[in-house]
Amino acid sequence: MYIITGGAGFIGANLVHGFNRRGIGEILVTDHLQQPDKFRNLSALDILDYEEAETFLPKLLAGRYGKVEAIFHEGACSDTMAQDGRYVMENNFSYSKALFHWCQENRVPFLYASSASVYGMTGCFQEERKAEHPLNVYAFSKFQFDQYLRAHWPDLQSPVHGFRYFNVYGPREFHKGRMASVALHFTRQFQNDGVVRLFAGSHGYQDGEQRRDFVHVDDVVAVNLHFLDHPRSGIYNVGTGRAQSFNDVAVAVINTLLHRQGKARQSLAQLQAQGMIIYQPMPDALLGKYQSFTQADITRLRAAGYQNEFLDVESGVERYLDWLSTQEQT
């Protein structure tokens, strides 16, 4: 049996889908369902069992689940604007430590979600201490767990893989609200209003030209399953290695939707001229906290043996919108 914490969430549910595509349904999903419609992420998938996060850990520590092949730890408080630091550290740090030690004691591979947020505003995206400067308690909780593991690398008894996800987008994120990807927000804006709204220029970047490393969730799943099959313990950036602009995402979204309507694809300049892409000031809450540029350095990922190509924004957005078109709610 495989265990996926946060398995009803965005990346967790896509991992379930990845296993199902391999013909594997012996999966225990653990999550919080205070937001009950998250169940929709799992309703078309096959799992063996479900457990609420609060009751899962005591049962695991008591040996209630029998043989476990691997734990994929995707569960966390992922709100970068969260204000309750004690809650975030308990969920993201202490809980992770308990799972890690259980996996080591029982010789079970442990694959967990770190975050590119640990880099803060350093502008350096290498898996090294000098590049890490978290700006909020969410990022700190991820950083501190990475640090905790670094002290244990020499004594590992089973594989451990930490994945620093960059800007992930794709299916099964409808429940994330304001934390959902810009690809989803832009799609909803254009479908509802015929307009996509981006931030005006900042940090030397022109309007909408701020750049992020946007990575499709299918690629994230592929990385996880690769290291399950080919373990090589370490902390790895998971991004495309190529930053693209928010304008690129907006153009990809609009052109995919226009193409479905039988209309011609248009350039950024044409979409701007027609008022389909507009710009607005950055909210005060983000001032001084907004990363205008991220780009994963995937040197270590490649050196560890992962050689698959990543989807670019144009291909990834089209794949995502194809999936959204099959859903009742986007």
Question: CB-based contacts of 22: which residues, under 8 Å, 6+ apart?
Answer: 225
**Does a structural domain hold residue 198?**
yes
Same domain? For 140 and 269 the reply is no
Among candidate residues 2, 112, 119, 138, the one labeled active-site is 138
Same domain? For 189 and 144 the reply is no
The one-letter amino acid code at 75 reads G
Note the pLDDT of residue 288: 66
Same domain? For 178 and 106 the reply is no
Among candidate residues 50, 65, 97, 176, the one labeled active-site is 176
Domain count of the chain? 2
Same domain? For 6 and 120 the reply is yes
pLDDT digits (tens, 9 = 90+) for 195-248: 999 999 888 899 999 999 999 999 999 999 999 999 999 999 999 999 999 999
- Is residue 263 annotated as part of the catalytic site, yes or no? no
pLDDT digits (tens, 9 = 90+) for 95-134: 999 999 999 999 999 999 999 999 998 889 999 999 999 9
**Does a structural domain hold residue 36?**
yes
Q: Partners of 236 in the beta sheet?
A: 163
Same domain? For 104 and 156 the reply is yes
Question: CB-based contacts of 119: which residues, under 8 Å, 6+ apart?
Answer: 125, 131, 132, 133, 294
Q: Which domain does 7 fall in, by range? A: 2-170+214-240+296-310
**Does a structural domain hold residue 273?**
yes
Distance CA 198, CA 246 (A): 7
DSSP strand pairing (211-212 vs 244-245): antiparallel
- Is residue 138 annotated as part of the catalytic site, yes or no? yes
Same domain? For 264 and 221 the reply is no
Same domain? For 137 and 188 the reply is no
Same domain? For 184 and 123 the reply is no
CA angle 232, 79, 89 (to 5 degrees): 65
Q: Which of 188, 187, 209 is nearest to 198 (CA)?
A: 209
Same domain? For 54 and 199 the reply is no
Same domain? For 252 and 236 the reply is no
**Does a structural domain hold residue 330?**
no
Question: CB-based contacts of 25: which residues, under 8 Å, 6+ apart?
Answer: 19, 46, 47, 48
**Does a structural domain hold residue 321?**
no
CB distance 100 to 160 below 8 Å? yes
